[in-house]
Amino acid sequence: MVQRRRQRLPPLLLQKLAMRSASSVVVPRAAIAPLPTHITSRLAAEITDRILDELHDSKPSLSLCSVVCKSWFPRCRYHLFSDVRLTEKFVRSVESSPNAKRSIEPYIRSVALGGGWAREELDWDKIVSFFQGLQRVDRLELETWSWSYLSASSARVLLSGMGSIFQTIRTLKLTYIRFTSFQKLVSFVGRFSRLEDLMLDNVSWDQEEESQDTNIESLEAPPFGPPRQLRRISIRASPNRALLLWLLFAKDRNQDASSRMGHEHALPLRTLILPEILPSESALVARLLQASGSSLEHLELGFLTHHSDEATNLSLIRAIDLHDNDRLRYLKIHQLTLYQVSPFTPTPTRTHFDLTIPTTMPYQWFIPLLRSLHSTFIENITLGLWVSDELQLDMLPWTELVSLLEDAIFGSLRYVAIQVNGTGDDPDAVLSWLTSRTENPHTRIHVQFSDSNYH
């Protein structure tokens, strides 16, 4: 007679499965027994998988479920090891036995390297060797990373694109990383032949001699273009100018040096996020928007302008045009900062900072930018607003905005989201300020409050 092992299910799983009949009925935990095998063996795998999916954010419960029965093992491992941070301890545990390697490595989909602990790692050669052999990873994040952590051989592996992992990565995120040169950066990114999504946050490189010529036609293209599959890019707190040129001149890696100053050939981007554009970069941004054309669906822009700089405002109006992006669905405008803080000089009658309001309208490009929209697919417009006083709101042309939204081109627009920052502890007051300026039965404006303008 075969003895059937009695296994207590994890408490969190029992909570998901149990049906509560009456709140007054209390069933002792010890009295709950597993369902008989002749019942559980008949449950479709899709059902148990859906139940186990509910535990995706509870690793202790997933660990217990993985040893309940053999059929649960793959789904539990899928959630347990789909997203990992490679440390020396993790690598050693996976390579401790052939069985551990076979049962964990195939489930790894997303890998993170670096972080605050990175300096403490002792054997980076082992970590990099394990990393380059992964077969199914589609996302890589390098965070707070320094190339000085690596030996010359390990650095060569990463910078030269050695290993099968460089053929599978589709999403690459680089955060707080400095390269020895811009060429090293674009060469490294170019090694990921199937890359579709690139996020750069506080990425920099050792400064080289760089031309300040603003005539785009005379600028030299970077030595290597971006991966041909790249469709989404986000650049935050990083030098835009060189990266914009890199995107504009999507050269073939095998092109010889004599043809590096060829014609523009930008990639058909679907998502472009540039929340910190300098005035001198606006012409390059305009060129990239024009080159992206109908492929662009998601656009986020933010301009670092001085409120009183009239010439800057006018140059932005002339440069940025969304006419060619006729399939745009989402537009966000960052950096709508409606206050300036004047220098604080204590005097007998002045004991606080003065929040000054410029006498001229600082965002003259705002309405012309929206008017240049020719996409009948636009569904959402988001404005990242920084404000601390009601009078500052009058620096934006609300009446023109409300009137513009009634245009037929915005027939598919679901709403305009205003993300408010800098208001302190009185969001109700700000809500009333905005409501009084946007009140219209046809206006679809939602006010949101967030801690960060980049959410």
Q: Which residue has the higher pLDDT, 363 or 120?
A: 363
Query: Which of 35-49, 140-154, 229-243 has the highest average model confidence (pLDDT)?
Result: 229-243
Confidence of residue 358 (pLDDT cuts 50, 70, 90): very low
Under DSSP, the state recorded for 350 is: B
Distance CA 101, CA 90 (A): 11
How far lies 119's CA from each of 89, 113, 124, 413, in Å? 14, 12, 10, 49
First to last CA, the chain: 61
Q: Which residue has the higher pLDDT, 223 or 191?
A: 191
Distance CA 56, CA 91 (A): 22
The mean of the pLDDT values for the chain is 78
Mean pLDDT of 135-148: 89
Closest CA to 176 of 231, 236, 122: 236
Distance CA 111, CA 330 (A): 29
User: What's the confidence (pLDDT) of residue 121?
Assistant: 61
CB atoms within 10 A of CB 273: 19
Given a cut of 80, whether residue 386 has pLDDT beyond it is yes
State CA 54 to chain mean position distance: 25
Q: Which residue has the higher pLDDT, 428 or 347?
A: 428
State CA 408 to chain mean position distance: 32
Mean pLDDT of 165-186: 93
Six-digit token string for 51: 């139940």
User: What's the confidence (pLDDT) of residue 46?
Assistant: 83
Mean pLDDT of 403-410: 88
Share of the chain above pLDDT 70, in %: 71
Phi-psi region of 116 (alpha: psi -120 to 50; beta: other; left: phi over 0): alpha
pTM over 0.85: no
The lowest-confidence range among 37-41, 44-48, 294-298 is 37-41
Confidence of residue 218 (pLDDT cuts 50, 70, 90): very low
